[in-house]
Structures are given as structure tokens and as C-alpha cells.
Amino acid sequence: MVEVRHQLLQKITMIPTTPNRLLAQHEQTIVALCTPQGSGAIGLIRLSGSDALVVADSLALLPSGKKLSDQASHTIHYGWVVDADQTHIDQVLFLLMKAPKTFTGQHVVEISCHNNQFLIEKIIDRALQCGARLAAKGEFTQRAVMLGKMDLLQAEAVSDLIHAQTAESLKYSLQQLEGSFSSWIADAEFAVVEMVAFCEASFEFIDEEIEFAHDVSIKMEKLIKKIEALLKTYSKQQYIKEGIRIVLIGSVNAGKSSLLNCFLDKKRAIVTPIPGTTRDTIEAGMFRDGNFLTFVDTAGIRKTDDEIEQEGIDRSFQEAASADLILLVVDQSSPLSSQEQQAYVEIIEKYASKIILVHNKIDLDQTISKIVFDGPVVQISAKESTHVQDLFNAIAKKVDELKGSDVITCLLNNRQHDLLVKFLEHIKRVVPMLQKSVDYELVSYQLKESLVLLSEMTGRSVSEAVLDKVFQSFCVGK
Ligand SMILES: Nc1nc2c(ncn2[C@@H]2O[C@H](COP(=O)(O)OP(=O)(O)OP(=O)(O)O)[C@@H](O)[C@H]2O)c(=O)[nH]1
Ligand SMILES: [Mg+2]
């Protein structure tokens, strides 16, 4: 049986995976600026490819006059980037890293230069003259995947690591870059391969059929539970990854923009006594209590004949629908029209579980309108910034509720989530097949199909279009 499993694993890992166009392309030497554009002390330009050392030799001048490529791998050299006529372009450090122990698996030369836009352009132009071409988005990481330096899950973790918004998401991205999710998938893959092996063996040991079915059922149940547990925490994973979207909704002049400014402690949104001041949504983010909170100010809700304002109000409702939390703001010092009252009631009925009701303008000492709500209610003065801490406490409590107490093993992105859902559907189809008389060939076929989805997850068997899509979200130079 071990033999069968072994053969199967081999068969799976031998799926021809790298599209031909990409294979040809990754031979070429690419160049890009890896550090962000703009002012700063140091800029880092990276070369990678089979001719990276040739390109580097053509543009590098060392004080000793020796060739850069003759130096030992993984060493740093002071020198100059020079023009064809040996004119100095910049004084730099060359980081020489010969294949295969490099990020991409190819020869890599990194040039640490002065961070001046003109210098950087000149150095890159010089590399192009010497035979390199400009790197596409994420092309260095794509090469690392194609040359087996990392799998697609780890490559995605590189991008997540760069864009992580919270300490928690940084922690998960780093773990995933180091292979935590890849080994999670490898375990799932192993469990399926084992099941296939059971099935294939049963072709030969038909007498022991009942026991095989039982063993496969138990393994299957365990695997299904494991996947369901991870998928169940998907929305919580997104709160960690993307942060929490908090939308401020209410009638005109309720004080939504004042509240946004009060949160941010700056005059981000325009505030005036004129009803209908905010026409479009305004977003601003901040870190608070370990979470990244995005506040969204919206156009006040009222009946209007103004086409532009109406468009803004429609957007307010769309924002309410997609929000993680809603701060429903009411000006308690002035009466509400029956239409406004009705709008508040409708929003509460629709989104009660994600609402914090905010009674604003308590500094005015007159309570004319209050909305009844059977959930968290906070009274504040956005203008005078009083009781804002109470509101932050209420938000923190709601965020904790949203996150729940389930343990998270990894942070999935959309692609991984959708593939895992499909994989779960696939293996769940096997469960009824294991009842009564079992057609092992059919079970085995179904299981093998599901393995293809896992190979797509790790990038071992993935289409060119999917690869392009994944690496499109990267920046140039990564
Ligand atoms: N006294 C008092 N006035 C406030 C308070 N909050 C806002 N205001 C005033 O109410 C008016 C409207 O405030 P905004 O923050 O623009 O209200 P809004 O909800 O954004 O209004 P729209 O953009 O028109 O929907 C301004 O004159 C604010 O100064 C408050 O807590 N107390
Ligand atoms: Mg406003």
C-alpha cells in the first residue's frame, strides 16, 4: 500500500506545470527597482536571470579592476556603475549571489545605490543596454515559484507580508511564507493520497472490502472537519487581513462628518450647518487596539430631488450593506421628519446585529429625538469630542464579537478559499459512495480529481491565466 501511495504522489508531482511561454521568459535577465520610488537614502535595484552576471560585469567597475562575476558568491563589493565609456554613474554596493541559493533560484545581483530618481533611471537604462529587460509585476517571485524555491501559497504570503495592515496579519503572513499553510495543504494531500491507496489496494484484496470502507470513512470525516473548521473562520481571517470597515450612517446634519474628524483628530471631512454637505463617501483608516479600522463617512439620508445628492445617498445604503459595523448617528437635539424616522427604523431592522447607535450633540442639552434600539447605544458630542472613548469601547466590544473565539490556523485569500470550498465539495461527494457496496474505482477517481484542486492551490498544476492573475497583485521589483 505504501508503494501505491508513493507512486500516486509521484504521479501527482510529475504533472507538467510550468507553461512554455513562462519557461522561455524566465531565462531572460530582468531588472527592477525593489525599493519604493521617492526620496530616501538608499535604492535597491535587482537583476535576476541566467545572464545576470554577464549584465552585471558590463555595468560594474570594481576598484581592483577585477570582474564582479569572478568574486565569491554571496559577497558584497564596493564599486561603480559605469557607462559604456567607463564614466561613473553612481558609487554603489554590489551584492553578488550566484545560483541556485538565491531568492529566484537564478543568478542575482543587487545594486544598492543612492536613491535619486535620475540615478536609478540611469542605472536601469544601463542594465537594459547591457541585455536585461524590465521585470513585470511580481516576476522575481514568479521565478522563485517556477524554479521550486517556494510554492504559490508562499508566494502569495510574500505579497500579504508586504501589504499587512496589522501586527496579527503580519504574524500569519510570515508563518505562511515559512510554509505553515503549505504544510497544512500537504497534510490534506497526504490524507487523500492515503485514501486513494486504500481504494487501489482494495482492488486486490476484495475480501477486506468492509474494513477498507470503514478506514476511508474515518479519514474522510477527519479531513472534512479540518477543512470546515478553517473555512468557518474565513470572515474572521478577513478582519485580521483587511481590518474592520465601519460606516457612519444617519440623516443630514446628524454630525457624521464631525464624528469622522473627531475619530481622526483632524479636519478630514467638510463640516457645515448646511444639510447635505457630504455628497460622496469619504474613507480614512487608523490603528486602534491592535485593529485596523476604516471609517467611512457617507451622505446624509433624506428625501431629495437633487440627482447628485441622491446618488450619494444610494452609495450610503450600499456602504451600509457591505459594512462590518455601522455607526448609526442621530442628532438628538432636533426633530426627525417621519421619512427620516422611517429610514432609521429600516436600517435597524435590516442590520441590527452590526449597529452601534450614536446619539450625538448631547452638549446641546435638549433631547428631542431618540431612536429606540435594543443594542449598544452611546451618547456623545462629536463637536466637543466628549464620550468618544465610550464609543471606541463599544466598537472594540463589537469587533471582539465579530472575531469570535475560534482558533485561526491560516489567513486565506479569495483564490485559496474558493479552491478549498471546491475541494470540500469534491470530497464530500465521496461520503455517500462509502456506504453499502463500495465502488472503489469510482471513489478513487473522485479522490484523484480532488487532488488536482490541491495542486492548483500550491501552484504545482496551475494555468498561465491563474499565475498571471496572482502575480498581477504584486508590485514591480518583488
Ligand atoms: N452642538 C453640536 N453641534 C454639532 C455636533 N456635531 C456636529 N454638529 C454640528 O452639526 C452640523 C452638521 O455637522 P456635520 O458633521 O456636517 O453633519 P453630517 O451628518 O456630516 O451632515 P451631512 O454631511 O449634511 O449629511 C455642523 O454645524 C456641526 O458643527 C455636536 O456634537 N454638537
Ligand atoms: Mg457630512
CB-ligand 1 contact for 332 (6 Å cutoff): no
The closest residue, in CA terms, to atom 14 on ligand 1 is 255
Question: How confident is the model at residue 22, as a pLDDT?
Answer: 57
Question: How confident is the model at residue 462, as a pLDDT?
Answer: 65
CB-ligand 1 contact for 312 (6 Å cutoff): no
Tens-place pLDDT, residues 193-244: 888 887 777 766 655 555 667 778 888 899 999 999 999 999 889 888 888 9
In 3-state terms the chain splits into helix, strand, coil percentages (rounded to 5) of: 50, 15, 30
Question: How confident is the model at residue 182, as a pLDDT?
Answer: 93
End-to-end CA distance of the chain: 43
CB-ligand 1 contact for 280 (6 Å cutoff): no
d(CA 147, CA 140): 11
262 CA to centre of ligand 2 in angstroms? 13
Question: How confident is the model at residue 23, as a pLDDT?
Answer: 56
Q: What percent of the chain has pLDDT over 70?
A: 91
Question: How confident is the model at residue 432, as a pLDDT?
Answer: 84
Residues recorded for the chain: 478
d(CA 283, CA 210): 61
pLDDT band at 78 (very low <50, low <70, confident <90, very high): very high
Beta bridge partners of 288: 291
Q: How far is CA 326 from the centre of its chain?
A: 24
Domain 1-19+150-233+406-478 has CATH 1.20.120.430: yes
259 CA to centre of ligand 2 in angstroms? 9
d(CA 273, CA 218): 67
Within this chain, domains 1-19+150-233+406-478 and 29-131 share the same CATH topology? no
Give the pTM. 0.74
Instruction: Please tell me the least confidently modeled range out of 205-214, 221-230, 250-259, 436-445.
Output: 205-214
Mutate to test the pocket of ligand 1, among 258, 281, 309 (most ligand atoms within 8 A of CB): 258
pLDDT band at 163 (very low <50, low <70, confident <90, very high): confident
CB-ligand 1 contact for 432 (6 Å cutoff): no
Superfamily (CATH H level) for 242-403: P-loop containing nucleotide triphosphate hydrolases (3.40.50.300)
Cα atoms in the Cβ-side hemisphere of radius 13 Å centred on 69: 13
Q: Give all strands of the β-sheet with 377-379 in edge-to-edge order.
A: 282-288, 291-297, 244-250, 325-331, 355-360, 377-379
Residue ranges per structural domain of the chain = 1-19+150-233+406-478, 29-131, 242-403
Domain 29-131 has CATH 3.90.1560.10: no
Question: How confident is the model at residue 14, as a pLDDT?
Answer: 42
Tens-place pLDDT, residues 127-151: 999 999 999 989 999 999 989 899 9
Residue 194 in contact with residue 219, Cβ under 8 Å? Answer: yes
Question: How confident is the model at residue 209, as a pLDDT?
Answer: 52
Is the pLDDT at 1 greater than 60, yes or no? no
257 CA to centre of ligand 1 in angstroms? 7
Residue 212 in contact with residue 464, Cβ under 8 Å? Answer: no
Query: How much is the mean pLDDT over the chain?
Result: 88
**Which DSSP symbol is given to 208?**
G
Angle in degrees, 0-180, between the axes of helices 152-163 and 139-146, rounded to the nearest 10: 150
Beta bridge partners of 82: 88
303 CA to centre of ligand 2 in angstroms? 16
Q: What is the mean pLDDT of residues 444-456?
A: 89
Question: How confident is the model at residue 16, as a pLDDT?
Answer: 42
Tens-place pLDDT, residues 294-327: 999 999 988 888 888 888 888 999 999 999 999 9
Q: Which helix H or strand E contains 291, and what residues bound it?
A: strand 291-297
Is the pLDDT at 24 greater than 70, yes or no? no
298 CA to centre of ligand 2 in angstroms? 7
Residue scoring higher pLDDT (220 or 57): 57
374 CA to centre of ligand 2 in angstroms? 26
Is the pLDDT at 15 greater than 70, yes or no? no
Residue scoring higher pLDDT (152 or 205): 152
Mutate to test the pocket of ligand 1, among 249, 252, 253 (most ligand atoms within 8 A of CB): 253
pLDDT band at 466 (very low <50, low <70, confident <90, very high): low
CB-ligand 1 contact for 386 (6 Å cutoff): no
